[in-house]
Each structure stands twice: as structure tokens, then as C-alpha cells.
Homo-oligomer: A and B are copies of this chain.
Amino acid sequence: MTDRDVAVEAGVSRATVYYVLNEDANHRIPDPTRQRVLDAVDKLRYVPFGPARMLRRGQSSVVLLLTHGLEHATDRVATDLVTALGAALESRGLHLVWQIDGEVGRDPSIDLAPVVVLSSAAPGEPDFARATADYPVPVLPAFPDLDRFTAAAAAAQAELAVGAGRTRLAYAALDEPALERSVALRREKVSGVAAAGRLPAVQTLLLGSTRDEARASLGAFLDQHPDVDVICAFNDEVAFRILAAARDLGIEVPSRVGVIGVDDLPFGAFTTPALTTVEPDLSSFVDAFADHIRRVCDGEEGEGPQLPTSFRAVRRGSL
């Protein structure tokens, strides 16, 4: 179905079809003609063909989000953000689509012709550079200043711990090389808060991946650092593993040691003890980010917003 078909069906020219459909201000079409066109559109179920439109316009309304894998998908915070961003962009005439940026698909999916690309990688990382090379359009970080954001989460955890009267802080993460830099950064932040409160140095606990390994890691860690009285975990999942390990070891939470997560995943209310955690407020960021993306699409320059640094404490039983 093309505009031609509609024109024939309605007995008018192709231009007239366009005037009716796009409500062209320079052309007032008499109602009977107008109606014939609209009827024809309905009857033929005509939908303009996107590629032709994009070719004419020179650009599309598609915003492409590239994430390395779906690890971000199972992260509740990221999915909330993506969902909210999609809605916010929609109301600005843009369409958010999501694609996995795998090793396999080295084809930059030319057919997509996005007007702007959002990369889950940070500027400077290989995936970000690759996106910049592959797409002849602006590439923005999907999670701007993620490091600052996660560091702020760590600081919020530490402040929560100190505020609760804990004095010997530890930081815990999974023992994965890929996470190393991020862990160092967050731990640094926790150390900063500890130092500001004249507390001793912050120790790092790297947790094994199986339950047995997790138990062994935690046991050894607490033997070596017996005065640690609170553990700030990388996220709620790590916190959950620590709770499991503590239970296996007969270590009491929160009396012997407190545990604090990040994200406020739904399961946090169902652990034993229930998980204390911190959670960001993303709503104002999302709108600002959508505005920024809109501006970038319009060719404007300028800095975009960064992820927020304020976190809300969710106090439950584990601290």
C-alpha cells in the first residue's frame, strides 16, 4: 500500500493525500475530499513506509540503546530507567529501541539508522568507541557518569552505617576481574566516609561465587578482621549472598555484623533478616535526560544531565 493507492482510491492526487494526512497549513482541503482520503486510508489500511520517509527527511526518530549484554536487563534499576526513558522519549516524538551489542553481531545494523545512539559503556571504553565508529550519529553514554552514581551509592551506604553507630566498615563484592575498577571506586568512597568519621581503614571482602565459597570467604574474612561490624555490599544480590553465608556460619545479622545492599530489589523484603539497602531517585534525571537527547537530535550541543547522587535509605532488619 502506497500513497499512490490511496490517491487512486480517493480519486485525488498523491499531493492531496499528503495535505490531508499531514494537515498541511498551506492547503485547506474541502471536507468531502478530505473524508474520501481518510476513508481510503482506512479501507486500504495504509501506513506510510518508514524508510521512504526517513530517506526524505534524512533522519529517523529512532534512539538506539546498545547494551553489552543483558546483565543490565536483570538489574532492576537499569530496567526501571530504560522503561521510564522510553516513555519520556515517546512523548518527545522519539522511539527507544534496545539492541544487544554482542561480539557476534559485528554488523552495525545499518538498517536501523538511529538519530542518536545510547551506549551502556562509558566514554573511553572500547564498546563506546566502537559505537562511535559504527554509527555516523552522536553517541551518548546511556548511564552518564555511572561511576559517580555508584560511588554515591557507596557513600550513602557508609553514611547509613555510621549513622547507625557502626564503626568498623567493610566493603564486599564478587571476586570478578571485570568488576575490579568499579569495586575499587566504591570502596574508596566508603573509606572516605570512614576517614571523615575518624574510623579505621575499610577492609575489602571478595566473595566466592558458589554458596560454599561464599561461606568460606566470609568466614576467613571475619576471622581476620574480627572487629568489622558492618558490611556494605556491592548490590542487593551480593548482600543476599552474604546473608546466606552468615547464616551458614552461624553469624548473627545484624547483631554481630550489619549488612547493607544497593538497589532495593523486591526480594529484599523477603530475606531473613530483611535487607537494609539504599535506592536512587531517578525520576527527575529521566526527564532531563530525555530533554537532552531531544536537543542532541536537533543538532544542539551542550552537556547532558548526570545520574543523581542522592539515595534514599530503606531500613529493614539487616542493619
Which residues of A does B touch, CB under 8 Å?
1, 45, 47-55, 60-62, 64, 69-70, 73-74, 76, 79, 82-83, 86-87, 90-91, 95-100, 102, 104-105, 107-113, 133-134, 136, 210-211, 214, 237, 240-241, 243-244, 247-248, 266-267, 269-272, 274
Bound CA–CA A274/B244 (angstroms): 10
Pick the residue among B52, B74, B96, B133 that contacts A55 (CB under 8 A). B52
B51, B79, B108, B136: which contacts A51 (Cβ < 8 A)? B51
In the complex, chain B residues whose CB is within 8 Å of the CB of A270: 211, 214, 240-241, 243-244
By beta carbon, the residue of chain B nearest A61 is B111
Chain B residues with Cβ under 8 A from A83's Cβ? 69-70, 100, 102
Nearest residue (CB) in B for A91 is B104
Number of copies: 2
Q: In the docked arrangement, what's the CA distance between A87 and B70, Å?
A: 12
Assess the A111–B240 pair: CB atoms within 8 A: no
Query: With A45-B136, A90-B107 in contact, is A50–B112 under 8 Å at CB?
Result: yes
Which B residues lie within 8 Å of A99 (CB)?
A: 86, 95-98
Query: Which one, B51, B64, B90, B271, contacts A244 given CB within 8 A?
Result: B271
Judge whether B62 and A112 touch: CB under 8 Å. Answer: yes
A-B contact pairs, 6 of them (CB 8 A): A50-B113, A73-B74, A87-B104, A95-B111, A97-B109, A248-B272
- Taking A53-B111, A64-B97 as known contacts, 14 extra A-B pairs with beta carbons closer than 8 A to each other, sorted by chain A number, are A1-B136, A47-B108, A49-B110, A52-B55, A61-B109, A62-B109, A73-B79, A86-B102, A95-B111, A96-B99, A214-B270, A243-B270, A244-B270, A247-B272
